Amino acid sequence: MAGGGFVKLPDGSVVVALSLPSPPGDGAARPGGRVRVLVHAANRARALTRVRNLGLRAVYLRGNSEPPSPDEVSAALYHPEGLVWRARPEDETESWHPIASLLRRGGRAA
């Protein structure tokens, strides 16, 4: 399960933001911490499917309590894959990383 939210863009696509538990053994995030994952897709269902296809099966979006900020929307839109993460969402100096690097680091995040 994940906290998060979404923003619908003028072209009809969406950016979905998910807060997921940090993978075990991930040195980048605090123990018991969370990572923020951003996904750009045609709609919410496709965004969640993209994340689930990576092996993160227990990811759901219930409500819109933590929608992506304008900076997060830009990060997702300008990344070639449209699927990025950051270990410390509150740290503006940390870069967004491709999702593959999260999966290599700590295995499954959910």
**How crowded is residue 48: how many other Cβ atoms within 10 Å of its Cβ?**
21
The one-character DSSP state at 88 is -
Distance CA 34, CA 88 (A): 8
Q: What is the pLDDT of residues 11-41, one digit of tens each?
A: 999 999 998 887 665 555 455 678 899 999 9
Range of the domain at 78: 3-106
DSSP, collapsed to helix, strand or coil, labels residue 22 as: coil
Domain tally, the chain: 1
Stretch (H or E) spanning 39: strand 34-41
Given a contact cutoff of 8 angstroms between Cβ atoms, the answer to whether 42 and 12 are in contact is yes
Looking up tokens 């969406």 gives 14
Q: Which pLDDT tens digits describe the chain residue by residue (110 residues)? A: 467 899 999 999 999 999 888 766 555 545 567 889 999 999 999 999 998 998 877 788 888 989 999 999 999 999 888 899 988 877 788 888 888 777 665 544 44
